[in-house]
Amino acid sequence: MRKTLIVTLLSSLLTLPAHADENLFGYIKGAEVLPDGALEFYQVVTQRSDKGVGKYTAYNTETELEYGVSDRFTIKGELKGQAIDTSGLLIDAYMPGDEKYGLKFQGVEIAGKYNFLSPALDDFGLSVTTGLDYLVLDPHSGRDKDTVSIDLELELQKYFMEGQLIWAANFGTEATRAKRKPIDNLPEDFEWPTGMEVEIEFWAGTGLSYRFVPNWFIGVETLYETEYETEVAMERQSLFAGPSLHYGGADYWFTLTYFDQISGGGEGFDGQPDGLHLIEKTEQEIRFKLGLNF
């Protein structure tokens, strides 16, 4: 009986992802953390494109180091970058005109993640992540904007079919204070507020990932976000969904996700497609993640 139990446990462990904090999804996070003393490097590139009018393409990068302080607590530090190419878009108070530049420093983030329940050991995973984020470039217009955000997120995770099918869900909130820099030569009567803005965002998302051959997972994920701002109450809401492909090797892993905006609402502008939010969001996003294990 003891031998049978050991074989069963080993078989279960072998069916789990190769590394505790592999990102099976592009947007949804799992509950696992790095083991004590483990170090992992991440590179994330996200392309955001198409506002239905004019031309809009932006790239955001995240270069991150994550360290396992203990078997339950992980910390990370992240450098953010941004490139943007937009023309033919003029949205009062949001998009003041054409903007184009290559990759620039956008900001930094520090965060900590504490694991209360491990999905591998406790049958159900539960973690909490909190982070502090500082940006100097607006991700939407691409213009100078000082932003400080504090976020809190709950991560859930569960393994099914001895780890062949993995479910994860996230619930989170972010509080933000932001201040735009003045811009010269704005169009006549164009509104460009430069006072302090206070925003609060809520999100909820979930994903399923299935291992169809060794080391390869295919999944689907969805994410709903809504934001409230001091001047306009509910500023935006959006629902994205799309497929993810993940590979996990012995020393590295990567994930590719295509995200399409299914529906949206809130603030809008003349000429945009109906049923979407395209001031602070785009119609599509593509995200690539690479992780290196040390």
The tens digit of pLDDT for each residue in 43-81 reads 999 999 999 999 999 999 999 999 999 999 999 999 999
What pLDDT score does 230 carry?
A: 74
CATH at residue 51 = 2.40.160.40
219 is in which domain, residue-wise? 2-293
Rounded to two decimals, the pTM is 0.89
Q: 148: burial class by Cβ within 10 Å (0-12, 13-18, 19+)?
A: middle
C-beta neighbour count of 105 within 10 angstroms: 12
What pLDDT score does 43 carry?
A: 97
From CA 34, how far away is CA 74, in angstroms rounded? 6
Average pLDDT over residues 151-172: 96
Determine contact, residues 28/170, Cβ cutoff 8 Å.
Answer: yes
Domain tally, the chain: 1
Provide the H-helix boundaries in the chain: 2-14
Determine contact, residues 159/16, Cβ cutoff 8 Å.
Answer: yes
Average pLDDT over residues 89-97: 90
Please state, for a pLDDT cut of 90, what percent of the chain lies above it: 78
From CA 111, how far away is CA 292, in angstroms rounded? 19
Determine contact, residues 43/100, Cβ cutoff 8 Å.
Answer: no
- The two three-digit tokens of residue 207, written as one number: 């994903």
